[in-house]
């Protein structure tokens, strides 16, 4: 989660018993290094890094991960095969995010330790299959553990993911509003106030669909897409727009990435409270102690 999943959130999630991730997104490698070091000052628990493969700095970020002794990496928005050898040799657990069973198989053959199967309910850059259909098909296609993502925000979603054959879940949207999340209050309020149908997908025409909460920006983007705007014009509109929303709190012209489960997020809570609530609820449903 670009800008959202910084070291504060990653450290808090890991300290609460999860596996926190720093979202490297489009950051330069040295910024990622600094984030990792600051995260280590906040917690002794391990946390990972997500590498967004469309980042032009991805090669350097991949290297920094090894240099800083990070042990868990997830990747998004592409195929991480070219980094696999380097990461495996360094003892890094590699978990690519996939949106299809085909890519999951490819990743298993390339040496991935697990995959995150992320459905189209997720926020940000998305594939087209739903979590309900994707997760069991990925489970049937590989022998490595599958982590479900997309649309999971509470214990019910967690339990449902287990029923689909997943061995873990990845959640983003629920943690946007965490007390430890540095996201601007305006952004948090947009997530808290969102209803089930308040997200929209921009970028369908460019081949890079991105799910966000509907606002002036998404309406303008979709209007331009319909009118046949060029890739350059669309890119100009979104340049720096996520930062604008997350950091500056501009929820009118900024991009508010969030998943369809935003309607399930009702309040700001600490990561510890969120984790405990989800696990208590899921254990009852799954009948485990
Ligand atoms: O990556 C994400 N979520 C993201 S990345 C992002 S930044 C961005 N903004 C605009 C356009 C593109 C990126 C914001 N949110 N989630 C994991 C994810 N990965 N979802 C879907 C995929 C994916 C899609 C296609 C993974 C691989 C893939 O194809 C691989 C290939 O090249 O064959």
Our mutation pick for probing the ligand 1 site, out of 55, 109, 124, counting the most ligand atoms within 8 A of Cβ, is 124
Pairing of β 199-202 and β 115-118: unpaired
Do residues 179 and 269 lie in contact, with contact meaning Cβ atoms separated by under 8 Å?
yes
* pLDDT for residue 220: 97
* pLDDT for residue 88: 96
Residue 286 Cα to ligand 1 middle (Å): 31
Return the residue matching tokens 């800008």.
3
Task: Give me 38's structure tokens.
Answer: 């600051």
* pLDDT for residue 194: 98
Do residues 263 and 193 lie in contact, with contact meaning Cβ atoms separated by under 8 Å?
no
pTM > 0.95: yes or no: yes
Specify the 3-state DSSP secondary structure of 65: helix
CA–CA gap between residue 104 and residue 100 (Å, rounded): 6
Surface-to-core class of residue 254, CB atoms within 10 Å of its CB (0-12 exposed, 13-18 middle, 19+ buried): buried
Residue 223 vs residues 53, 202, 231, 241: alpha-carbon distances, Å: 28, 10, 14, 17
Residue 289 vs residues 122, 157, 286: alpha-carbon distances, Å: 29, 18, 9
In 56-140, beta strands by DSSP E: 72-76, 93-98, 115-118, 124-125
Mean pLDDT for each consecutive 10-residue tract of the chain (289 residues)?
A: 94 98 95 98 97 95 98 96 96 98 97 98 98 98 98 98 98 98 98 98 94 98 95 94 97 98 98 98 96
Task: For residue 5, give the nearest of 58, 82, 101, 74 by alpha carbon.
Answer: 74
| Closest residue to atom 17 of ligand 1, CA basis | 76
* pLDDT for residue 266: 97
Residue 113 Cα to ligand 1 middle (Å): 19
Residue 117 Cα to ligand 1 middle (Å): 12
CB atoms within 10 A of CB 91: 9
Surface-to-core class of residue 226, CB atoms within 10 Å of its CB (0-12 exposed, 13-18 middle, 19+ buried): exposed
Surface-to-core class of residue 225, CB atoms within 10 Å of its CB (0-12 exposed, 13-18 middle, 19+ buried): middle
Residue 25 Cα to ligand 1 middle (Å): 11
Our mutation pick for probing the ligand 1 site, out of 22, 54, 77, 213, counting the most ligand atoms within 8 A of Cβ, is 77
Bridge partners (DSSP) of residue 97 are: 116
CA–CA gap between residue 49 and residue 92 (Å, rounded): 11
Pocket of ligand 1 (CB under 6 A): 2, 52, 54, 76-79, 97-99, 103, 118, 124-127, 208, 210
* pLDDT for residue 145: 98
| Closest residue to atom 4 of ligand 1, CA basis | 125
* pLDDT for residue 289: 85
Return the residue matching tokens 């018993």.
17
Task: Give me 146's structure tokens.
Answer: 């599958």
> What are the residue ranges of helices labelled H in the chain?
7-15, 29-42, 58-67, 81-89, 101-109, 131-141, 155-163, 173-176, 185-193, 216-226, 231-238, 241-246, 271-286
């Amino acid at each position: 989660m670009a800008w959202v999943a910084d070291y504060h959130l990653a450290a808090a999630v890991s300290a609460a018993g999860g596996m926190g991730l720093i979202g490297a997104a489009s950051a330069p490698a040295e910024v990622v290094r600094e984030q990792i070091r600051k995260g280590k000052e906040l917690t002794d628990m391990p946390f990972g890094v997500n590498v967004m493969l469309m980042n032009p700095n991805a090669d350097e970020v991949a290297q920094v991960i090894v240099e800083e002794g990070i042990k868990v990496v997830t990747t998004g928005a592409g195929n991480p095969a070219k980094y696999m050898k380097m990461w495996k040799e360094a003892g890094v657990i590699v978990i690519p995010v996939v949106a299809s069973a085909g890519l999951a198989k490819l990743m298993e053959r390339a040496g991935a330790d697990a995959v995150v199967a992320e459905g189209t309910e997720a926020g940000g850059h998305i594939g087209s299959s739903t979590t309900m259909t994707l997760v069991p098909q990925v489970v049937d296609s590989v022998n490595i553990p599958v982590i479900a993502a997309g649309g999971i925000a509470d214990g019910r979603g967690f339990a449902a993911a287990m029923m689909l054959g997943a061995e873990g879940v990845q959640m983003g949207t629920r943690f946007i509003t965490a007390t430890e999340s540095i996201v601007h209050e305006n952004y948090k309020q947009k997530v808290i106030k969102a209803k089930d149908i308040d997200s929209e997908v921009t970028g369908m025409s460019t081949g890079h669909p991105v799910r966000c909460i509907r606002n002036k920006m998404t309406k303008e983007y979709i209007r331009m897409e319909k009118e046949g705007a060029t890739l350059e014009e669309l890119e100009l509109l979104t340049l720096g727009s996520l930062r604008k929303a997350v950091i500056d709190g501009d929820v009118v012209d900024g991009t508010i990435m969030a998943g369809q489960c935003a309607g399930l997020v009702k309040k700001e809570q600490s990561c510890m409270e969120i984790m405990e609530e989800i696990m208590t609820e899921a254990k009852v449903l799954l009948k485990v102690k």
